[in-house]
Amino acid sequence: MSGFTITDWSIQYKKCADFAQQQIATSRAHYKRRNQSNSSRIVKQITDGKMGEILTAGYLRTIGFVCNEPDFEIYSSKQKSFEADLFCGQGKIKQHVHVKTQNSQSAARYGASWVFQAGGAGYGHSDPCLDTSNDDWCVFVTLDSNDESASIVGPLCMTDVHQHFKDPKLSHLVGIKKCVYLEDIAAIKSVLPPPVHDPHHSIMDLLERLMRLMCHGTTPLKSFPLTPDEMDTATKNNWIKVVDGEIIFDKDHIIDIAFGKVPLDQYTVPMRRDTSVHRPPSRYTNTASDTEDSGEDEMANRVKKRKLN
C-alpha cells in the first residue's frame, strides 16, 4: 500500500529517535560485530526501523488484523535477538511478524530492497527469516519522512519469499548479508486478514423478526425484544419509530426492503482493495546496487582507494 500514514507522525518519529539514541548506547558492541561503526547512520536506521514497526502495526489493524504495539524496551547487547517485531492474532498462539524498513532516500538511490543479516565470522548473528522452514510473516516498508508516509508490502509469508533471497552485488558483503528486491516479490500474494462478518445476514434476520412482530401491531417499547444496537439500526433506517412509549412499524418500507424493491446499499460489504500484487514506485526502481548498508561500505572502499592512490 502506497501513501499509508498516521495522524501523529512527528510525535511518533521523535519517540523513535529518542529510542534509537538510548538503544545505540547499550549496543555498540553488537553493531561492531556487524562491521557497523557510523553512529549517526545507525541511529537513523534504528529510528526508521522502529517507525516502520509503528506504521506496520497501524496498517495491519486497518486491514483487519489484531496486532500488538511495537516494543520500546531498551535491551543490552547480550539481550539482542531476532525475535519478531510484532505479533498478530488473539489467544495463546500468535503469528510472528518481522518488519523490514528502508528509507526513501536509499530506495531512490539503490532501488526498493531490504537487507537480512546472514551471519559471517565476526559480523553478528544470522536472521532466522533465512531459514527455509520459517513460516513467519514479513512486512516490507519504504519510509518517506519528508512526505510523512510509507509504502507497505505485505504481510508476506516467508515461505514464499525464501526463493527470492539474493547475494549482495558487492563481493565483500557476500556471506554476511542477503537481499530481497521489490521487483522479485511484487507478484507474491499478501496474507489475507480474517474474514469480515457479512452484515447482510444479521440485517435480514432483523427484518424477518420485525415483520413477525409487525403482524401483532404496536408493541410496548419496554417489552420490545431487540437489543440496543438492533433498535438503533431499525430506527436509523426508518423501519420503526417510538411514539408514546410504543413501537410503530413502517410496514410499507419494511416490505419493500424485504422484497428487494429498496436496495440495501448501505449494508453492502465493500470489497477490500487488492493489495496482493505490489508495483514498485517508479522512483524506487533503480537496482544497480544494494541498499544503504552496502552504500556505506562502498563509499568506504572508494575512500580507501583514494588514500592508496
Confidence bin at 276 (pLDDT 50/70/90): very low
Cell numbers representing residue 290 in the block: 544494494
184 in the same domain as 260: no
| Pair 44, 159 in one domain | yes
Q: How many CB atoms lie within 10 A of CB 8?
A: 10
Compute the 3-state secondary structure of the chain and give helix, strand, coil in percent, each to the nearest 5: 45, 20, 40
The pLDDT value given to residue 79: 57
| pLDDT confidence band for 302 (50 / 70 / 90) | very low
Beta-carbon count within 10 A of 176 CB: 24
Range picked from 2-16, 46-60, 110-124, 156-170 for highest mean pLDDT: 46-60
Residue appearing with cell numbers 516498508: 141
Answer yes or no: are the C-beta atoms of 220 and 246 closer than 8 Å: yes
**What confidence score (pLDDT) does residue 217 get?**
63
Same domain, residue pair 284 and 186:
yes
Per-residue pLDDT tens digits for 141-189: 999 988 899 999 999 999 999 999 998 776 777 778 899 999 999 999 9
Are 159 and 58 contained in the same domain? Answer: yes
Asked if residue 3 belongs to a domain, the reply is: no
Q: Which residue has the higher pLDDT, 200 or 68?
A: 68
Query: Which pairs with CB-CB distance under 8 Å and at least 24 residues apart come from 236-240?
Result: 237/266, 239/207, 239/210, 240/210
Number of domains in the chain: 2
Q: Does 125 or 303 have the greater pLDDT score?
A: 125
108 with 242, same domain: the answer is no
Edge-to-edge strand ranges of the sheet holding 219-220: 219-220, 246-249, 240-243
Stated as kind and residue range, the H or E segment containing 102 is: strand 95-103
Q: What are phi and psi of 5, to 5 degrees?
A: -145, 175
Please, what is the angle between helix 39-62 and helix 9-26, to 10°?
A: 130
- Give the pLDDT of residue 80: 60
Q: Does 136 lie in the same domain as 56?
A: yes
Same domain, 95 and 157: yes
Would you list the DSSP string of 219-244?
EEGGG----HHHHHHHHHTTSEEEET
Q: Output 87 or 196, whichever has higher pLDDT.
A: 87
The three grid cell numbers given for residue 132, joined into one nine-digit string: 527455509
What pLDDT, on a 0 to 100 scale, did the predictor assign at position 197?
52
> How far is the C-alpha of 159 from the C-alpha of 161, rounded, in Å?
6
> What does the pLDDT look like over 115-144, one tens digit per residue?
898 875 444 567 888 888 888 999 999 999
Q: Whose CA is closest to 55, among 144, 166, 128, 188?
A: 144
Across 19-33, 43-57, 107-121, which has the greatest mean pLDDT?
43-57
Residue whose cell numbers read 511518533? 12
Instruction: Tell whether 149 and 283 lie within a shared domain.
Output: yes
DSSP 237: T
Find residue 220's DSSP bridge partners.
Answer: 246
Q: Is 229 a residue whose pLDDT tops 80?
A: no
Mean pLDDT of the region 256-281: 54
147 found inside a domain: yes
Rounded to the nearest integer, the mean pLDDT of the chain is 76
Q: 278 with 186: CB under 8 angstroms?
A: yes
Instruction: Identify which of 120, 167, 159, 124 has the alpha carbon closest to the alpha carbon of residue 138.
Output: 159
Does residue 75 share a domain with residue 43?
Answer: yes
- Asked if the model's pLDDT at residue 294 lies above 50, the reply is no
C-alpha cell read off for 111: 532501488
What's the pLDDT score for residue 31?
A: 57
For residues 186 and 109, state if they share a domain: yes
* Whether residue 185 is found in the same domain as residue 230: no
Beta bridge partners of 246: 220, 243
Q: Which residues contact 45 (CB under 8 A, 6 or more apart)?
A: 292
278 band by pLDDT with thresholds 50, 70 and 90:
low
The pLDDT > 90 percentage for the chain reads 30
Say what the pLDDT of residue 289 is. Answer: 38
Domain that holds residue 75: 9-194+273-308
Task: Give per-residue pLDDT as tens, 191-222.
Answer: 988 765 555 556 777 778 888 887 766 566 66
Pairing between β-strand 95-103 and β-strand 137-144 as defined by DSSP bridges:
parallel
For residue 1, being part of any structural domain is answered with no
Phi and psi (nearest 5°) for 73? -75, 140
pLDDT at 18 over 90: yes
The three-state secondary structure class of 4 is: strand
